[in-house]
Every structure is written in structure tokens, then in C-alpha cells.
A and B are shown apart, each in its own frame.
Chain A
Amino acid sequence: MAAKNHRQWLAEPNLKRSEWVDSRIYSDQEIFEEELANIFKKTWIPVCHESELPKAYDFRTVSIAREPVIVARGPDNEIRAFLNVCPHRGMIIERRPSGSFLEGSPSGNPKRMTCMFHAWQYDMRGNCVYISREKEGYQERLCKEDVGLRRLRCEVKFGGFVWVNLDDSPKVSLEDWAGPAFECLRKSLEAEPLEVFHYHKAIVNANYKLWHDTNCEFYHDFMHYHNRVTGFNDAYFARKNEAFDHGHVVVGTFEVNYDKYEGFESRAALSFPHLPPNQWYMIDLFPGMNFNLRGSAFRCDIVTPLAPDKVMIEYRGLGLKRDTAEERRTRINHHNSIWGPFGRNLHEDLIGVQGQGTTMAPGAEPRRILQGRHEDQTIHDENGMRHYYKEWGRWMNRTPSEPESPFVEQVSVAAE
């Protein structure tokens, strides 16, 4: 059919309602606020990797759904998470992205988290251990024991990632939440300690789900020259998208022919433990985290939604902690050649998602965003996104294709 007039453009396509979403879910402020409250404040979020705080008293600061979070390793080697907020006057306690509490700060003592504002101090378990002029100001009305930090649920799991949940009573344990999805890579990621070697961030004007969609569908490989020449073969098109409970999706593996791209080499010699040469698994976790193992290099994307049309994506690359210097250099090159900020694919992915963000700015005319491809749940099937949005509907009690309507659980379709 030729180009359409407005009425034709708005007409429903010959697809089921579960095969598209309304673009308002990518741009509406009210929906965004509900997502922060209903999803991001209630699910397990990987905030960093344990190798980012390798020694006792090391810390990292992050945020989840606008709440500042501090993760610190105690003298007992346990990693704990707290709100990075002083209970006195609401000052952010630690302003640096990372560091060590072994040294004192201008306002406080060594081995303490100190709020610089009024010098209240906390130990690595979040106990308040010092209030400046405590008795003079509070007499017997308030004491250190009354004002500890807000502790958060925190676990180190699935290859050493630090997971935090703002909800004291999560619906499911972290193991039940993500364990089945991680099963395909568990042996590889847990055979020995991993170490982060790469970090950079992107802030793009697009909704966080659009980035996750890109990670969930491989149909966009037509955009990537690299993936076309190194991948498009029978084994590639047979890769399965497997749906797991809680909205997660795993993209099955196949052998990538890296040497088909000029200047690239096989990654077989540096494959992760228990991973056959040049294989490639990908795990997409609801609500927007991605774990991607391409043979020798492991990548993790963590999204932090900033606004309906703005997301920060943090990119990490990981190798084996025991890598020799030469192995690490090679691993880093493998990672960067495709996924670095100057690599071949990440730039293209970000142009794509930025382009979607441009057409779905808040206030733009709502439109249907299709996810109706069915190819026996293989690589270009869009079942991964359909699975994700079914879960999204449950958490939000909104129908993704009609977000003003409550979510209605449909009987599962066999192909899903």
C-alpha cells in the first residue's frame, strides 16, 4: 500500500494487541513515575561488580530510582548497601564515585562513613558511631543508637555482581529472580573470580525500555555490518530466544566467525571457562539489565532511568581476574572492537535508540511500536520483547498496547 493518510496511519494493523505497544509507555511522565515506584524500587538491580571494591573499607556510590545508594566492603569482607543519605539533615554522605574509608576525611575519622556537613559518622555496618556535640544538643532525647543508616538488601551473585533491592520484602529472592536465566552462563561466570576492566557511560534522550528492546531483539543486526558478515548463517538464524519467569530472556549461542571481518581475529584462545570457542550468549534481565558474553569478553549494561525520555546506560567489560597482562590486553581489544565507545556496534546501537527517542518525545502523537515477528522463537522473532512487556504490564497494571487500561493476564500463547 502507498503512504497513508492520518486515518489509515492510525488504523490497527492485522496483528494481535500483544504484538505492539503504545509509544506513550516510552514518553509519559506519569507512567515513568509509576515505573520508578512499582518496578525499580522493588526489583533486584545490579549496581556494580565486587572487583570495584576489592579491599575492606572500599566503597562505590550509585543510585536507584533517584535514591542515592552506597555500597561498602566491611572489615569482615562483607559487602553491604545503604541509602547514601544522612539521617540528620538529608545530606548525601559520600560524594565520590568510589574510594576507601581507610583514610579519614576533613570532617571525620578513618574507617568511618562521615557526613561532611555536621560530622555524623557511621561504621561499615551502618551504625551511627558519632554525633558531634550529641549530649549538648539532644540531651537524652536522641542518641547514636536511634539514627543508623537505612540498610538495603544486598547480595553478591552471578559472577560477582553486587545486587541491591530497595524493597525490604522483595517478591522473590535474588536466586529465584534471576537464577534460571543465568543458568546458561553460571559455570562460566562462577568458575573463578572476574574483574572489571572497562567502564563508560552514555546518557541518551530515549526511554530506558528502548535500550532494553534493542538488547532483546537481534532483528536490528541488519544495522550492523560486523554482525552480518560474522554471523548471518544457518546457525545464527537458528539461535533461540528463550523466555524465563519474571520477564527475562536468554538468547542462545552459536559460533561467531570473527575473522570474516577485516582486522578481527578468532577469540577461541581466550574463551571464558566452560564456554566453547567463539560462542555468544546473552541474558536480558527485566527491567533493563543485559549480560553479554562473546567468547573472550563479558559485557554488562545497567540502565538508570532519568526521565521518560532520558536514560543513563553504564557499560562494563569484564575478564578473568587471573589474566596475564597480555591476555587482558587482548580481551580488552576484543571487547572494544565491537562494544567500546569507539567500537563498531555500540555506536550504531546508540544511534538507533536515539533515533527512536527522537520520534517518541513527550507529547508526540502516540503510535504503535510493533513487536509482532514470529519465527519459531529464533533470533529474529520478537518474542523476547513480547515476553518483557507482558511482565511490565503485570508490574504496572497497565496494558502495554493501551496503557490507560488495566493489565489483563492472557492465556499463554504456545509460541511465546
Chain B
Amino acid sequence: MDASALVRDTIYRSTILLDQQRWEEWLAHCDDRFEYAIRAFSPEINKDVTYLALDRDGLASLLKLLPKHNTDHSPLSRHTSVYTVDVDEAAKSAKAVSSVIVYQTLLDGINSHVDAGESRLFIVGKYLDTLKIEDDKAKFLSREVRIENRRLDKGSHWPI
């Protein structure tokens, strides 16, 4: 598989792992130096805003403690389309831009009798990824989830 295809494959596989909440397996696709952030531009305050920013250890702690927290368990489905992959062969790395649309299929978030089973648009944005390529494997060095929404209602305990 060429480097560009490898990057696309890694992004798509990681999408499935996130959807299935296989957090440990998702983290296995992330380098030890991995940096994760969810950001948006807010025209309300005319600034970039950061909604979450964690390194790999921080993410691992967050995910480990999920069972301790009360959570809306409505599953998220990420529809990812990789738009561009720019490989830097000398640096053995690549940058990728993907569109991501996240749907939330309601389970226990509101009134489950009425709402459970309904899918709603939750997030509109892009994945801005940097990956390293070594030994025919691609690992995430960073992911910025650049979202358009500033209306986030209940938000989420989960990485996007």
C-alpha cells in the first residue's frame, strides 16, 4: 500500500474504532507524542475557541475514567471523507484533511420512549490530521477536530 493509501486506511479504520468506542484500540493508532484538540471559530466572540485539548496520556486518563461518570450513551456515528493527503516522504509524515459529520442516535439522552432511535446531526467539521509513516504503518501525531458548531447542547464525554 502506498503512503497516501495507508493514511486514508488509518483514518477510516480509526473512525470505525471511535464509533464502536474501542478506545484502547483507537489509542493504539496514536503515537506517544499524540496531541488531540477540538476547536472552532466563534463569530460570537470573534475568536478561535478550544473545546478540548489533551495529549495521549490525558486522553488515556479521560477514557479510563468514563465509567465513573454519568453520560449520555446515545451512540455517535462519524461519517468521514478523506479529502486530501499530502505526504512528506523525507519527513516520513503526512497531513490529511477529512470532512467529518457526526450523527447522534438518541438512546438515553432525553425521553427514551419518544426519542430513542432518532438520529440527529451532532457535529459538522473536519479532521485535520498529522500522521507519521514508519514500517508500513501510519500513526496519528495530532488530530484537530475543527468543528463549525458552537451550539453543542449537552456536548459529550467522548472524543469526536
A: residues with CB less than 8 A from B are 51-52, 60, 96-99, 196-205, 223, 225-226, 261-263, 316, 329, 332-333, 336, 340-344, 346-348, 350-351, 354, 358
Q: A201-B151, A348-B70, A354-B109 are in contact. Are A342 and B157 (CB under 8 A)?
A: yes
List, in ascending order, chain A residues with CB within 8 A of B50's CB. 198, 329, 332, 336
List, in ascending order, chain B residues with CB within 8 A of A98's CB. 43-46
List, in ascending order, chain B residues with CB within 8 A of A316's CB. 45
Q: Can you name the residue of chain B whose Cβ is closest to the Cβ of A261? A: B65
Q: A263-B62, A351-B72 are in contact. Are A342 and B156 (CB under 8 A)?
A: yes
Complex CA gap A202/B45 in Å reads 16
Complex CA gap A392/B64 in Å reads 43
**Interface of chain B residues 129 through 160 with chain A (CB within 8 A):** 150-160
Complex CA gap A262/B68 in Å reads 12
Q: A98-B45, A225-B65 are in contact. Are A336 and B53 (CB under 8 A)?
A: yes
Q: Main secondary structure on chain A at its contact with chain B? A: mixed
Q: B117 an interface residue at 8 Å Cβ cutoff?
A: no
Q: Can you name the residue of chain B whose Cβ is closest to the Cβ of A349? A: B154
Q: Which of B49, B65, B111 contacts A358 (CB 8 A)?
A: B111
List, in ascending order, chain B residues with CB within 8 A of A263's CB. 57-58, 61-62, 65
Q: Are A350 and B153 in contact (CB under 8 A)?
A: yes
Complex CA gap A347/B73 in Å reads 11
Q: Are B154 and A225 in contact (CB under 8 A)?
A: no
Q: Which of A196, A205, A225, A343 contacts B45 (CB 8 A)?
A: A196
Q: B20 an interface residue at 8 Å Cβ cutoff?
A: no
Contact mask for chain B residues 16-49; partner A; CB cutoff 8 A; 1 contact, 0 none: 0000000000000000000000101011111101
How many residue pairs between the two chains, A and B, have CB atoms under 8 Å in the bound complex? 115
Q: Are A340 and B52 in contact (CB under 8 A)?
A: yes
Q: Which of B47, B58, B156 contacts A197 (CB 8 A)?
A: B47
Complex CA gap A99/B111 in Å reads 39
List, in ascending order, chain A residues with CB within 8 A of B52's CB. 336, 340, 342-343
CB distance from B92 to the nearest CB of A (A): 28
Complex CA gap A342/B69 in Å reads 13
Complex CA gap A204/B154 in Å reads 8
Complex CA gap A91/B83 in Å reads 41
List, in ascending order, chain B residues with CB within 8 A of A340's CB. 51-52, 155
Q: Can you name the residue of chain A whose Cβ is closest to the Cβ of B53? A: A333
Q: Are B61 and A223 in contact (CB under 8 A)?
A: no
CB distance from B19 to the nearest CB of A (A): 17
Complex CA gap A341/B122 in Å reads 12
Q: Can you name the residue of chain B whose Cβ is closest to the Cβ of A333? A: B53
List, in ascending order, chain A residues with CB within 8 A of B154's CB. 202, 204, 347, 350-351, 354
Q: Are B53 and A329 in contact (CB under 8 A)?
A: yes
CB distance from B70 to the nearest CB of A (A): 5
CB distance from A42 to the nearest CB of B (A): 26
